[in-house]
Amino acid sequence: MYYRISEIKLNVKESPSAIPEKIAKKIGRDKEAIMDYKIVRESIDARDKEQIRLVYTVDFELAGELSGRGAKLGLKEAVASTYTFVETGLKKMKNRPVIAGFGPCGMFAALILSEMGYQPLVLERGMPMEQRVGQVQKFWQEGLLDPESNVQFGEGGAGTFSDGKLTTQIKDQRIGKVLQELVAAGAHEEVLYKQKPHIGTDVLRRVVVNIRKKILANGGEIRFGTKVTDVQLIDGAVSAVQVNGQEWIETENLILAMGHSARDSFRMLHQKGMDLMQKPFSIGVRIQHPQELIDQAQYGSRDTGLGAAEYKLSHRCQNGRGVYTFCMCPGGQVVVASSQKGGVVTNGMSFHARDGAYANSALLVDVRTSDFGSEHPLAGVDFQETYERKAFAEGGKNYQAPTATWEAFAEQQEDGIKVRNCLPDFAVQALLEAMPHLGRKLKGFDSSAALLTAVETRSSSPVRMVRDEQLESSWKGVYPGGEGAGYAGGITSAAVDGIKLAEKIAERYRPGFIHE
């Protein structure tokens, strides 16, 4: 029988192979009694920089019964969490389910539907990985932007050129399924147990292609370079989607997993009368420091064996505005992540090794819907576009993002003014107030070594597509999901939302299901 034990602590220099011995000691048995073990969770305790520890939760198989000291610990049987598919419907679908978007949400919706035998059709406006990587490199090197296939659009969605952090604030048993599928497709096994797992853009690109292959092998189809441009409704229910302004594809089940950058699609949906509402989001800059500075501040040294250190900081300003760091990329690089001509937006990316010389993170100020200056459901999109256009202009109109040191920003030097011009005044004021506080929380954060890049506008969607308890939009058979629809904030939560949508569609085809 397997038991679960927590608080197994190792010195950072100790190998995980010492775990059975530690367990044996804790339960008062010989090491030989630990027949097998599996790490369930690993976290870092760096509160005492002189004695940084790795803390494990472990499932272990014990020879014989728990007794004595072990029994007193009250250990419970370890129950492996496996994903249970919803009951597959028996009623026949007239047409295949269609999924718009092949980011994490659309990908996992397609995977689950294909595993249930529904043979989904995925429509993705961007290109497959092989072509997309070249397009993105060309954009970064030569400033040639393809508005249909770029850092935001294309196979794998917005997170493909990212750090591939898999941390999420949601609690959902489907997370296990997401992580297991990522590992099955080539992610390192450690993502299953690290407290803050990440894949890295290099590995993620391979993983995405392998998931694509699995969907195809299950009978799904994926069409790249294929944008949903219109939706046909009959009596308030979807009957077909138009692609690339030409062909119509019939379907009664449409998942909209288009991400937060599909502004033209948002506008099309609004124009057709879909129920959309404003959603608060954030605006700010990318902040970059030497990784060594972060390691020193977090671990007291660079040479801990723990890899590049992370941080997460926040401050509430006197006027109530929240300032916080987000999407931190240790050992990574700042990237321009534009998807629209004449706009610059920044983000961060790292490779699996996270061995770059710099750390970067979004440094954001919360934006309320009252800041939009309009009641229009898409006013948040207009707000984002305004500041992205400013960043394009200040950067020289060639997709180079404006940058300035913190010192230049604070002291209104020429470069600093350019970065300030890319932000609303309330955000500039909030950053000026917050930085000294953040510098006290993480030594050196507000030093002159900090480099700011403008503008960070797309940490989340400015729109929510209203959906009911069946996860349907105001149109029957249309299921909006993921980050763009306002129901996820990151790779893992978007993937989980995709699974939920697939489940809802499958449930609809159970005998006895009545569609109100």
Residues that bind ligand FAD (CB under 6 A): 100-106, 123-126, 151-154, 157-159, 161-165, 227-228, 257-259, 262, 265, 327, 335, 337, 347, 349, 482-484, 488, 490-491, 494
Q: What is d(CA 432, CA 452) in angstroms, rounded to the nearest whole number?
A: 13
Residue 205 is classified by DSSP as H
- On whether the CB atoms of residues 456 and 347 are closer than 8 A, the answer is yes
- On whether the CB atoms of residues 506 and 114 are closer than 8 A, the answer is no
Q: What is d(CA 397, CA 322) in angstroms, rounded to the nearest whole number?
A: 31
Residue with tokens 């959603």: 279
Smallest distance from ligand FAD to CB 8, Å: 28
- On whether the CB atoms of residues 427 and 365 are closer than 8 A, the answer is yes
CB neighbours (10 Å) of residue 165? Answer: 22
- On whether the CB atoms of residues 433 and 317 are closer than 8 A, the answer is yes
Residue with tokens 């100790």: 14
Q: Which is nearer to ligand FAD, 37 or 224 (CB)?
A: 224
Q: Which is nearer to ligand FAD, 343 or 484 (CB)?
A: 484
Q: Which is nearer to ligand FAD, 58 or 285 (CB)?
A: 285
Q: What is d(CA 127, CA 232) in angstroms, rounded to the nearest whole number?
A: 25
Residue 29 identity: R
Contacts of residue 209, defined as CB under 8 A and 6 or more positions apart, other chains included, come to: 128, 129, 155
Smallest distance from ligand FAD to CB 505, Å: 16
Contacts of residue 425, defined as CB under 8 A and 6 or more positions apart, other chains included, come to: none
Of the candidates 194, 128, 200, the one whose C-alpha atom is nearest the C-alpha of residue 167 is 194
Smallest distance from ligand FAD to CB 149, Å: 8
Residue 323 identity: V
Of the candidates 406, 423, 434, 421, the one whose C-alpha atom is nearest the C-alpha of residue 320 is 434
Smallest distance from ligand FAD to CB 169, Å: 11
Number of C-alpha atoms within 13 angstroms, CB side, residue 294?
25
Q: Which is nearer to ligand FAD, 75 or 262 (CB)?
A: 262
Q: Which is nearer to ligand FAD, 11 or 95 (CB)?
A: 95
Q: Which is nearer to ligand FAD, 162 or 239 (CB)?
A: 162
Length of the chain: 516
Smallest distance from ligand FAD to CB 286, Å: 10
Q: Which is nearer to ligand FAD, 163 or 252 (CB)?
A: 163
Q: Which is nearer to ligand FAD, 104 or 380 (CB)?
A: 104
Residue 490 is classified by DSSP as S
Residue with tokens 């939560």: 493
- On whether the CB atoms of residues 304 and 54 are closer than 8 A, the answer is no
Smallest distance from ligand FAD to CB 361, Å: 11
Smallest distance from ligand FAD to CB 186, Å: 17
Smallest distance from ligand FAD to CB 488, Å: 5
Smallest distance from ligand FAD to CB 110, Å: 11
Strand partners, 178: none
Contacts of residue 197, defined as CB under 8 A and 6 or more positions apart, other chains included, come to: 165, 166, 167, 179, 190, 191
Q: Which is nearer to ligand FAD, 5 or 123 (CB)?
A: 123
Of the candidates 460, 225, 457, 210, the one whose C-alpha atom is nearest the C-alpha of residue 345 is 457
Q: Which is nearer to ligand FAD, 416 or 482 (CB)?
A: 482
Smallest distance from ligand FAD to CB 10, Å: 27
Residue 395 is classified by DSSP as T
Q: Which is nearer to ligand FAD, 62 or 192 (CB)?
A: 192
Smallest distance from ligand FAD to CB 489, Å: 6
